[in-house]
Structures are given as C-alpha cells and as structure tokens.
Amino acid sequence: MNFSDSEIVASILADQNYEPTTDIKSADLILLNTCSIRDNAEQRVRNRLNELHALKRKHPGLVIGLLGCMAERLKDKLLEEERHIDLIVGPDGYRQLPQLLEQVESGQKAINVLLSADETYADINPVRTGGSGVTAYISIMRGCENFCAYCVVPYTRGKERSRSPITIVKEARELFEQGFREVTLLGQNVNSYHWDENNQPVSFPALLREVASINPLLRVRFATSHPKDISDELLECIAAHDNICKSIHLPVQSGSTRMLGMMKRSYTREWYMDRIAAIRRIIPGCAITTDIIAGFCSETEEDHEQTLSVMREVGYDYAYMFKYSERPNTIAAKKYPDDVPEDIKSRRLDEIIALQQELSLKSNKLDVGKEFEVLAEGVSKRSDQQLFGRTSQNKVVVFPRSAFNPGDYVKVVTLSCTAATLRGELAK
C-alpha cells in the first residue's frame, strides 16, 4: 500500500511543478512514507529522521515531511519530539499537500491527519515512481474493520471503503496500453472489496474477472487476503482465468486456535485449513504464502509448536515472519500483558524462519525440471546477459537474456534452485 500511496503523492506534487531527484542533497522537499504496523519499522524511521536532521542543519530551507500510518498514529507528538519535521500528513490527507506546503513556506508547521470515510484517490492518476515499467500496483480499497488485537491499521487507515470498479478497470487498461504487463490489486483486506451503486453490487471476484478480461497478456495479482473472505467463488474465478496468477497470500499469524481467538482473527485453525484444502482442490499447483507472528501475548510452547505444525501441513512457499511488538492503543495493548520474554520470542522466530527456509527450498526443488511461462521484469544484478522474472506462482526465475527484454513472456525450463530463486534455461 505504501508503494501505491507514494505514487499518488508523486502525482499530486507533479501537478504543483515538483520534480523528483535521486540526489538527496539537492532536494528541497523530502517526504518519508511510513508504516506503524511494527515497532521496528517506526525505529527505522526515527533513525532516518536523525540523518535528515543533520542534512537540514546544512540546508535550512529543506522541508521535511512525514506521511502515512506513523504520522497518523503519533500526530502532534512527532512535532514535539522531532522539531525538524515541518509537515505531518496521514493516509487520507494527501490531497491537501499543496495547501500544507504553502503553510510551511509561510513559516508554520503543517498537519493533517483526519481520517476520511470515503477518500480513495480514485481520480488521481499515480506517477509510477520506480520499477521496470512492467509491473504496477493499483489500490482498490482502503482501510480495515477487522480490528485484530495486535494491529494498528484500523486506527491509522480508518474504515473500509472501496473504489469504483469503473476507475479500477480504466486504470488497469491504461497501464496495459502503456506497456505494463502485470498489475497487483491492493487493499488492507483486498478480498473484502465491495462496491454497490444503483443496487448493482460488484464483488471482488467480479472485479477480478473484469480486470483479467482487459487482455490475456495482462497478468493480475492481488494482496492481501483475509482467510474469512477466501470464498470458493473467488478460487473458481482464479482457476478459470489463465492470466490471474496462481499465487495467494493468506496470513495465518498462528497455528493455535487459542492464539487466533486472542488475536481476534475471526477463524479457527480448522477453518483456515479448510480454505487451504479448497485452494489445493480448485487451483492445483497454486502457491500459498503467509504471515506469522512469534511470541504473541501468553503464547506457550504448545501454541508455538502448533504454528510449526501448520507450516509443515500447508508447506508454505514463502512467509513473512516477525516477533510480536506491542502497538499502542490496540486491543492487545489494552487487554493483554506482553508477557513472552524477548529471548523466547527470538528463539521461536528463529525456529519459524529455519523451518520456512526448509519449506521454501523443498517447494523450489519440486519445480526443478518443469517449464514455466515467466514474465521478464528486468536485468539480473549479477549479469546483464541474464534476465529475472516471475512465474504465475510468484517465484523468481533467473534465465539467459538471449533476444528477450523486460515485458516479454518467456518459456523457461528450470535447472536448479535455492530457497529464494529458480535458475533456468530457455525452453526449446
């Protein structure tokens, strides 16, 4: 979501004649787009702000602004603690950036952290600020109403609100016409997308079908899914379209039903495993990735072992794995003591990471010798004679460049692998 938000901000500033620069020392305006979901992310931002403070002492006219969830969560506190910050703007305040910058130019601090009930930035054409021009992100909904016990997102991003399907399909079509060959539909809980106008509801599967129908050469991905919204209808939609990628990110967080209840995840282990079974049945060969939290409040060794066992049972292709860090004002912070010692959290996280390394390597080994259609995304960092790209299952493949370029679809036979990458040759 932050990549998408940054592109929206770039578009708003471009309309005010701002130009991007890769030389930080020549910048007149530096904006940090932040995340508050974990304490570690906020600490990295604090460290970066210290570096920018030194830069501002050398260039007093430099304007420094903080955007996103951290800005929303800490608000006035940041202006007090980080006095070199001139501008604080929450996720729903980006349209006001021109006015806020005028306020800064007049010598005042500027802040807008009001959450909106309907802001989607649907009419703003994002400036694609990075990448190879092959893949792009499209925000289709914002906010979250799940209120998981550990999560600050509902408080920093506000209520769920979906964007008109007409604007989403239009943006995807324009991206394809510009040469992009893959779009990822984004939302805090993307599969809870719902639009209803004139009593004509549009569900997420219906939207997915519309985007996939733009052109068979346009790959479609989405993230992030909530297990409660992975319906058979959605899975059947993915299975029916070759260009909807066969990869689903389905955060489990814990393999313990007791932990899931404390986390307010609204499903049990059994429910989750039923959805995994449905994915395997309806979309054979679909890759499944996940999020896992180690050391949530009151987690026992038995709870931890259940997480390891669900990992083995599913056989995840990849996982994002973190230690629990208490976030202020969340349900967990208000109701549960953060009572798992730090050394135990670290040990459990290490065990989760080690197991996932085994699972990722096992998954990739199963793909050695197979042929895949790979969308080339760019030139390999190790050699300009090689390209890298991704399979429909979102696995990275490195292969000989030959006559191909980023944006091409290439048939590749895999020859070897690591836990992170497949290596292959051009199919004959």
Tens of pLDDT, residues 360-391: 999 999 999 999 999 999 999 889 999 999 99
Q: Mean pLDDT, to the nearest integer, of 194-201?
A: 90
Tell me the C-alpha distance between 111 and 161, whole Å: 23
CATH number of 131-245: 3.30.750.210
Tell me the C-alpha distance between 293 and 299, whole Å: 10
Tell me the C-alpha distance between 73 and 274, whole Å: 36
The pLDDT-based confidence of 343 (bands split at 50, 70, 90) is: very high
- Among 57-66, 186-195, 228-237, 392-401, which is the least confidently predicted range? 57-66
The pLDDT-based confidence of 36 (bands split at 50, 70, 90) is: low
Contact between 247 and 289 under an 8 Å Cβ cutoff? The reply is yes
Specify the pLDDT at position 126: 67
* 2-112 belongs to CATH 3.40.50.12160: yes
Please name the amino acid found at residue 281. R
Q: Where are the domains of the chain?
A: 2-112, 131-245, 247-264+273-365, 371-426
Domains 247-264+273-365 and 371-426 share a fold: no
Specify the pLDDT at position 125: 65
pLDDT digits (tens, 9 = 90+) for 215-242: 999 999 999 899 999 999 999 999 999 9
Please check the confidence at residue 142 and state whether its pLDDT lies above 90: no
Q: Mean pLDDT, to the nearest integer, of 14-41?
A: 84
Indicate the burial class of 229 (C-beta count within 10 angstroms; 0-12, 13-18, 19 or more): middle
Q: Tokens at residue 31, please?
A: 């904006």
**Residues forming a β-bridge with 423:** 398, 416
Please check the confidence at residue 98 and state whether its pLDDT lies above 60: yes
Q: Mean pLDDT, to the nearest integer, of 310-333?
A: 95
Specify the pLDDT at position 198: 84
Tell me the C-alpha distance between 237 and 220, whole Å: 12
* 371-426 belongs to CATH 2.40.50.140: yes
Q: Tokens at residue 369, please?
A: 């010798």
Tell me the C-alpha distance between 207 and 165, whole Å: 7
Phi, psi of 79 (to 5 degrees): -65, -30
Tell me the C-alpha distance between 190 and 220, whole Å: 13
Specify the pLDDT at position 357: 96
pLDDT digits (tens, 9 = 90+) for 78-97: 666 777 788 888 877 888 88
In the chain, pLDDT over 70 holds for what percent of residues?
A: 93
CATH number of 247-264+273-365: 3.30.750.200
